[in-house]
Structure 1
Amino acid sequence: MRPALHYLRYWPDAAFLRRGAVYALSFLTLAGTAWLTGDTGYIWSATASIWTCLADRPGTAAARVRGLATVGIGGAAVSVIGASLHASPLAALAFVLAAGLMAGLSEVRGPATALWFKLLYVVLIAACLQPASGPSASAHAWMAGLDFLRGGLFACAVSLVLIPSDRETRPRTEIIAIYDALRRFAVALAEAGSLDMTPHKQEIRLCIETARRALASRRGLADPVALVHYAYAIAVGDAIFALLIVAGELRERLGVDHALPLACAASRLTDMHAQVLQALSCHGPDLPALTAMLFRDLREMAARRTYASTPPAYQSALAALAQFPAFDRWREGFSWPISGFAGLIDRLGLMLADLAARDTRVTRHAVRLALAGGLSLLPAQIWHVDHGYWVAVTVIMVLSPRLQTTRQISFLRFAGSLAGALFACAISLLHPTPAPVLGLSALFLAGAYTARLAGNPGGFAFCLTPAVILFSWLGEPTSSSSQVAAMRGLDTAIGCLIALASYYILAPRAELSRVFRHSIDALAVNAVYLRAASRASRTLTPSHLRLEALRVAAGRASSRAEATLSQSAGDLASDLTAAHTSLHDTARRMASLAGLIRASAESGSVDQHPGPGVQALLSALEVRLAEVAARPGRIDAIATSAPDWIGPSPLATTAFEQFLVEQAAYANAHVDSAHQAVARISALAAAHEHGGRSRRGSLRAS
């Protein structure tokens, strides 16, 4: 009994089994129609059902339709193109190479999009190798597109009707995550002892950006009022985050005797999180009541009578928070963000800069995918081997940007495909009739879909291989099933070898340039934000919208740089990773300092400009910040002897001037730290590059 219970833990989830059965039903209907009517076009429709159902994933109806329609409908257009190139091998090769580059570059859009384009790439190669069946090339291409469209639409309809979609809860879950992260950050600040605030800041910024993207994905031609209420809840969370950043900066400076009411803030945020969770967990939330509650709690948190004994900087931050408007007044000045054409060009430029670097993993993966697809297509076209597309199927499903993942999946897929081919040969020795063969093919296909959803590549290959072999034998009853199985196993082995060989042709490299570029961008944006905050405190000009936009941009740039570093940390040397981490910490400190200066300047309690001495000091600081944003890493730009401005300064005559002088001292220290960090990163990168060249030279000499 115990061994049986031990193996039951590997049994797939019931939801995966249901989805696999529905996908197999779609295939069985089309394949059965092909067998009953003798129409070979339905065989291509059944193949379309196989690839279309692979694009389906659990999620909302809108998210599922995107994947199903991309493969089911887009595959019809790809089939027309591939079938029209059947008679011209060189044109087909050129088109397949270009399509492989596009499929590989789609990795930048996420794994789901990459899978959709890989499936379309499989369809393209299969259509190029499909034997001509019409009176002319144009008729063959047109019929191939119609047959695939029929199968794709049928698979879409069956999947959407028989498999329930998740309820659309965006951005409710994301907003709850924001307030949960804020609560945990406030509780951590209230606890005694040292605290690393960077993980909390990263999590909150990620939650806020995720909520904004979820909110933007819900927009349409006519935006309902509910979306504006959600946007207000996100804005309130962002404002509280700015207050906690100031509190964290002061806590780090003042130590254990900070006299900050962090316990009160943690208690208030705990109550707010509980109310937000209760309000947004129900099916139809009362959003006007939620926004009114958030504004009331925000006012109670910013009540200055409760925090009369707190440091002046924290009181200024509370005063700035108290100016946050109620929903009706906030809505009057609210407008949905529109990036416009300039924003599109900027994003395109950043993406091209990432893809054009010589060590970019995604670009090298795209070149590998294109070369592997070409190597799969050209021999099959020369020798007229229509089943050669199975080599492309193996290559495309095995190749990933990382060599370790490709090796693991290649081994599991090869072992699963070999076992599946042998199993199909064993079935063929029984000489079954077409009806049982069709049923077994559908049964294996259901197992393949279930294993795919469960994340088991070996089981997926083991079930998919006999399903396709038996289905192919059904379409060619005169051929030997054992020969078909042997060819599929050989195709799988060739595909795995091509995938692994491509890594030796284009070996993966550490993405030093991408990590360095994102780190420098984060430093530049945070330095510009601190410079703008310093200028606002020096001139006392109202620039809340500009500073808020810079704060959001600084947070996004830092989050992107830290995410890039975490993705490439395994490929970088430990000293280089530590240098980049130090630079990110400096950039975060610049943003925290800018928030502290902003809070004092925007509190409304300062109505007199700083004196000439403080003005000159801040102007010199702004010059240094502009320099570190434009030309970081200059050792000669580091201040040789910075005066001690932490104590009373002769330049300051008021408390606000003394505050600005102290913040200027911290800012100058951050500028020096940034220059030193960038210079160290450049030196370490050059040393590692020189070491890599020396090792390659010694290998050639030996």
Structure 2
Amino acid sequence: MKGLSVSPTMPDVGAVIRSLLGVLVVAGVALHWAGPTAAIAAAGASAIAGAVALQDSPRGQLRLVVWVTIAMGVAALFAAAAEPYAAVFAVLVALWGFASGMTWAISANAGLVAASAMALLVLTPAADPPWPEAAAAGGLALAGGLGQAALMVVWPRRRRRTQRAALARAYRSLASDARALAADPTASIDPQPLMWLKEAFTLTDAQAARRPLAYRSWYGLPDRIAVTVTAIAGRVPGAPECALVLQAAADVLAAVAAPSPLARRSAGDALDAFDATAATVTGPEAVSVQRLSEQLRDAVALRYGEVTPPPDLPELRRPGLPGEARDMLARIRSHLGWESPVLRHAVRLSLAAAAGALVARFADLGHGYWIPLTVVMVLRPETAHTYTRCVGRVAGNALGIVVAGVVVLTLHPTGLFAAGFAALFLAVTYAVAGFGYMALSAALAAAIVMLVDIGGSADVATISDRLLATLIGGALAVLAHVLLPDHADVRLRQRAGELLKTEIDYAATVIRAYAHEIDKPAEALSAAWERAYRARAAFEAAAGAHAGNDPAFRRWLRAYRTALNVVTASCSALETAIPARPPSGWSMEFLTAVDDYVHVLSGDPAPPGAAWQADMGLLTTATERVRAAVPSSDAATARVLIGELGVITGQLSTLSNGAARLPDNA
């Protein structure tokens, strides 16, 4: 169930209703055909698969739900069969916990989904007799997840449909505009489809600015193509071959507008034709043509299901399942060193959950499954505020248990009635996901209580048992962190990366407010600054507790603080100089270049176990693009922005590659 925390904000209502209806239908079918044990497994698997289906993913969402469903079926099968045997079940929990912890090496979402499967493992009741009922639990869990996959196909998300339509419209418009510019260089790009595209991706998603670069490329790339096409059109009178380039680009854009398996080869042929035409351009305009070539390749790659362009784009080959499996295994192997926070998290999760399963069995505690379940819900491979977040999640669990317990004592829901309350609390989970981990834990714990109570009702003693088990599980989680903390050097590096990321988020907010009119700018800037301030306090605490007092460490600490102070000063200067209203004379090319800089500056989230760093290659290129696009009107205001961007980029270069890098032996 922990995978429900994957989605950071409330998805669109239609998609949530779709997911919850799937849970109710599966619970009803399982209750009718196989009983409460299978109903708990099936409804839990359906809820997890539904949460995964609500994620925004650039590609492979249906395939991801199917693979998650298979994992849920296996977890339910093994749990129902092994749960009657204490030692066997504890070993199963330990092995699954270690594997679940190591999946954080792949990505944070993969780690949360694996933890969800582990939560289902410890939740599924014992089957009696073991194998027929265990097989039913596993089979119905599989059916529950596949039901969510089927709902994705027949009832696609409204926002997803809107985004696909906006993408098709934007690329069709760009193709038409490119042909018009080839015939008449005085023509212009129609900005309306590009504006609709950006609104489709951002106005319905409060977290769009924090999405990975691959996600933001969906709506940012057409803007960049429009700027490049306009620049090439300005060369047409003196370089007639540029008109042919625009015509060839229009063919590619038309193929991108409506991707399909039949058009896949046409897109490759159009790119071949474009490359042949682009090779004839040798003058100063060749730089713009080369940039357009790269952008068109990115557009084709994204629209035909690739996050990054493959080596042989005209054939549009995918790595396939074997290639993806090799990549995942390589990431996991890279974290098998004892200093890795991912490996230490896996060991903590494995040992604490297995110990919790044994305590639950031999302590004769009612609803003892809450001990290992709390361990699963509390532990993360985190370095910042570890104990605070552990205690906060345990407190959230306790609050959710009490709230759900009051509902149970008052209404005594069982069967499908209890499943309905579970779906209701799942809806609350989605609604409060953006309010912090305590609220999320409370809603999720309440949903789990109702899910388990499909087979019966509870009393006051049951609520007390659940609270006691939750406290024991929380104590085991904290104890695991105390006995096996992260390596001191790794912790300091990650705290440094967290501080750098919050400073960059503050800088991105300031730059966005300088160039655009944003809602409640004072509140947005204040919130970004407060996050950076808290991260700086955590970093200073980690630096003060660090044992490395050699000269190299002191030089690193001094250089790191100096560079961050310069970044903060630049942000403060920009914040002070923010115009009352964004300048109206800035060109689309300049604003697009600034937006690109902000997107690259924000970067992708750091992989679990790694400190965040800026991509200096992309950031340097984005900085030069802003400088090259300086507008003729309101140039003084623009130069203030360009100057501070240069300072920020320079300091980030120092932090990423220069003297401010933490020495390995610090």
Task: State the TM-score, normalizing by the size of structure 2.
Answer: 0.51
Note closer, same or farther for the CA distance 1:343–1:119 as it changes in structure 2 (3 Å cut): closer
- Cα separation, 2, equivalents of 1:60 and 1:350: 22
Q: Deviations over 1:161-194 (max 9, x none)?
A: 334283697xx99xx9xxxxxxxxxxxxxxxxxx
Q: Which residue of 2 aligns with 1:462?
A: 442
Q: Which residue of 1 aligns with 2:370?
A: 390
| Offset at residue 347 of structure 1 (A) | 6.8
User: What letter matches 1:463 in structure 2?
Assistant: A
User: What letter matches 2:407 in structure 1?
Assistant: I
- Cα separation, 2, equivalents of 1:384 and 1:154: 37
Tell me the percent identity.
20
SS of the aligned residue for 2:121 comes to helix
2:19 to 1, 5, 23: 23
Q: Which residue of 2 aligns with 1:441?
A: 422
1:39 to 35, 48, 58: 35
- Cα separation, 2, equivalents of 1:444 and 1:423: 10
User: What letter matches 1:28 in structure 2?
Assistant: L
Q: Which residue of 2 aligns with 1:154?
A: 147
SS of the aligned residue for 2:48 comes to helix
Q: Is the 8 A contact 1:19 1:450 kept in 2?
A: no
| Offset at residue 388 of structure 1 (A) | 2.6
Q: Is the 8 A contact 2:366 2:465 kept in 1?
A: no
| Offset at residue 36 of structure 1 (A) | 6.4
Q: Is the 8 A contact 1:83 1:144 kept in 2?
A: yes
Structure 1 unpaired stretches of 5+: 1-11, 177-206, 215-229, 238-263, 308-316, 517-567, 582-676, 689-702
Q: Which residue of 2 aligns with 1:141?
A: 134
Q: Is the 8 A contact 1:444 1:463 kept in 2?
A: yes
Q: Is the 8 A contact 2:50 2:148 kept in 1?
A: yes
Q: Which moved more, 1:351-360 or 1:372-381?
A: 351-360
User: What letter matches 1:501 in structure 2?
Assistant: L
| Offset at residue 364 of structure 1 (A) | 0.9
- Cα separation, 2, equivalents of 1:332 and 1:472: 51
Q: Is the 8 A contact 2:106 2:332 kept in 1?
A: no
SS of the aligned residue for 1:370 comes to helix
| Offset at residue 367 of structure 1 (A) | 0.9
Q: Is the 8 A contact 1:469 1:485 kept in 2?
A: no
SS of the aligned residue for 1:133 comes to coil
Q: Which residue of 2 aligns with 1:427?
A: 407
User: How large is the Cα RMSD of the aligned pairs?
Assistant: 5.7
Larger radius of gyration: 1
Task: State the TM-score, normalizing by the size of structure 1.
Answer: 0.49
- Cα separation, 1, equivalents of 2:450 and 2:94: 31
2:120 to 123, 135, 139: 123
- Cα separation, 1, equivalents of 2:99 and 2:337: 17
2:107 to 106, 110, 121: 110
SS of the aligned residue for 1:401 comes to coil
Q: Which residue of 1 aligns with 2:127?
A: 132
| Offset at residue 363 of structure 1 (A) | 0.9
- Cα separation, 2, equivalents of 1:142 and 1:578: 61
User: What letter matches 1:506 in structure 2?
Assistant: L
1:101 aligns with 2:132: no
SS of the aligned residue for 2:334 comes to helix
2:79 to 69, 73, 82: 82
Query: 1:179-578 residue pairs with structure 2 within 5 A?
Result: 282-283=257-258, 287=267, 292=273, 296=277, 299-300=280-281, 302-303=282-283, 351=331, 354-383=334-363, 385=365, 387-404=367-384, 406-432=386-412, 434=414, 437-452=418-433, 454=434, 456-477=436-457, 480-510=458-488, 575-576=555-556
Q: Is the 8 A contact 1:53 1:159 kept in 2?
A: no
Q: Is the 8 A contact 1:359 1:513 kept in 2?
A: no
Q: Is the 8 A contact 1:82 1:124 kept in 2?
A: yes
Q: Is the 8 A contact 2:90 2:355 kept in 1?
A: no
| Offset at residue 410 of structure 1 (A) | 3.0
User: What letter matches 2:24 in structure 1?
Assistant: L
2:69 to 69, 72, 79: 72
| Offset at residue 369 of structure 1 (A) | 1.2
| Offset at residue 370 of structure 1 (A) | 0.8
Q: Deviations over 1:556-585 (max 9, x none)?
A: xxxxxxxxxxxx99977574479999xxxx
Q: Is the 8 A contact 1:67 1:116 kept in 2?
A: no
Query: 1:593-672 residue pairs with structure 2 within 5 A?
Result: none
- Cα separation, 2, equivalents of 1:23 and 1:81: 25
How many residues align? The count is 429
| Offset at residue 399 of structure 1 (A) | 1.5
Note closer, same or farther for the CA distance 1:18–1:386 as it changes in structure 2 (3 Å cut): farther
- Cα separation, 2, equivalents of 1:487 and 1:393: 14
Q: Is the 8 A contact 1:68 1:156 kept in 2?
A: yes
User: What letter matches 2:422 in structure 1?
Assistant: S
Structure 2 unpaired stretches of 5+: 1-7, 172-210, 229-237, 298-310, 495-537, 544-552, 562-656
Q: Is the 8 A contact 1:20 1:448 kept in 2?
A: no
User: What letter matches 1:447 in structure 2?
Assistant: V
- Cα separation, 1, equivalents of 2:463 and 2:75: 28
Q: Which residue of 2 aligns with 1:52?
A: 49
Note closer, same or farther for the CA distance 1:509–1:401 as it changes in structure 2 (3 Å cut): same
Q: Deviations over 1:286-307 (max 9, x none)?
A: 846666556655654x327x99
Note closer, same or farther for the CA distance 1:46–1:485 as it changes in structure 2 (3 Å cut): same
Q: Is the 8 A contact 2:105 2:335 kept in 1?
A: no
Q: Is the 8 A contact 2:397 2:445 kept in 1?
A: yes
- Cα separation, 1, equivalents of 2:19 and 2:29: 16
SS of the aligned residue for 2:443 comes to helix
Note closer, same or farther for the CA distance 1:88–1:473 as it changes in structure 2 (3 Å cut): closer
Q: Is the 8 A contact 1:89 1:378 kept in 2?
A: yes
Note closer, same or farther for the CA distance 1:37–1:100 as it changes in structure 2 (3 Å cut): closer
Note closer, same or farther for the CA distance 1:373–1:161 as it changes in structure 2 (3 Å cut): farther
SS of the aligned residue for 2:35 comes to coil
Q: Is the 8 A contact 1:418 1:489 kept in 2?
A: yes
- Cα separation, 2, equivalents of 1:125 and 1:77: 13
Q: Is the 8 A contact 2:10 2:432 kept in 1?
A: no
Note closer, same or farther for the CA distance 1:358–1:470 as it changes in structure 2 (3 Å cut): closer
- Cα separation, 1, equivalents of 2:156 and 2:316: 35
- Cα separation, 1, equivalents of 2:462 and 2:557: 51
| Offset at residue 437 of structure 1 (A) | 4.9
- Cα separation, 2, equivalents of 1:14 and 1:23: 13
Q: Is the 8 A contact 1:359 1:510 kept in 2?
A: no
| Offset at residue 157 of structure 1 (A) | 2.7
- Cα separation, 2, equivalents of 1:138 and 1:372: 28
| Offset at residue 62 of structure 1 (A) | 5.8
- Cα separation, 2, equivalents of 1:680 and 1:89: 52
| Offset at residue 503 of structure 1 (A) | 1.3
